């Protein structure tokens, strides 16, 4: 079994989600009494020559870690992840670009609320128009995901045991469809 591929949710002392780490790092935090095991991965173990340990799935730090506001970095790959790697006009999954819903030439900003994923064809067809003017409704309204939402909805292979600590989905549906 490849231990590196197993990921663990780290909770702060107040049970708020902080980040995701490798099972090896989480095990060391628990072993050194810097964290406690909240939930173990089902049917997965870390083995030494003489001992077998449950592989962690969720750990809680024993001390509170004060962090500044954590947002999701606005970049091309995170926009694509938010939009499911699909054109928000036609649903295509190849030849993707970023589109400004309100074009930059008309004062549109490069922000979470104004950027969406579009295939090259739809981006060219929409041109310098808004989706309403171009009669090209968006499948979903662009939005800024929170850090926890991004961890839950856009990270690969989320363990079901994590969901109570990551909150409900806030994904918006389209007002343009």
Cα separation values, 85 from 62, 98, 121, Å? 38, 11, 15
pLDDT score at 152:
66
For the chain, the 3-state helix, strand and coil shares in percent, each to the nearest 5, are 25, 25, 50
pLDDT, tens digit, 9 for 90 and up, residues 29-82: 999 999 999 999 888 888 889 988 889 999 999 999 987 777 788 999 999 989
Residue with the bigger pLDDT between 29 and 149: it is 29
How many Å from the N-terminal Cα to the C-terminal Cα in the chain?
Answer: 46
CATH fold, domain 76-126, is DNA Binding (I), subunit A (1.10.30)
pTM (2 decimals)? 0.62
CA distance 157 to 61: 22
Domain with CATH 1.10.30.50 in the chain: 76-126
Tokens of 53: 């340990």
Q: How many residues does the chain have?
A: 177
């Amino acid at each position: 079994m490849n231990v590196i591929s197993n990921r663990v949710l780290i909770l702060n002392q107040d049970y708020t989600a902080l980040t995701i780490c490798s099972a090896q790092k989480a095990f060391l935090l628990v072993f050194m009494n810097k964290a406690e095991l909240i939930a173990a991965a089902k049917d997965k173990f870390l083995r030494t020559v003489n001992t077998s340990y449950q592989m962690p799935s969720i750990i809680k730090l024993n001390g509170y870690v004060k962090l500044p506001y954590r947002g999701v970095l606005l970049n091309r790959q995170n926009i694509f992840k938010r939009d499911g790697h699909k054109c928000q006009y036609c649903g295509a999954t190849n030849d993707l670009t970023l589109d400004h819903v309100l074009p930059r030439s008309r004062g549109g900003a490069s922000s979470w609320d104004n950027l969406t994923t579009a295939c090259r064809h739809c981006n060219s067809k929409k041109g310098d128009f808004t989706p309403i003017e171009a009669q090209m409704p968006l499948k979903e309204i662009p939005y800024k995901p929170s850090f926890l939402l991004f961890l839950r909805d856009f990270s690969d292979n989320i363990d079901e045991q994590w969901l109570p600590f990551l909150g409900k989905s806030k994904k918006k549906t389209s007002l343009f469809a």
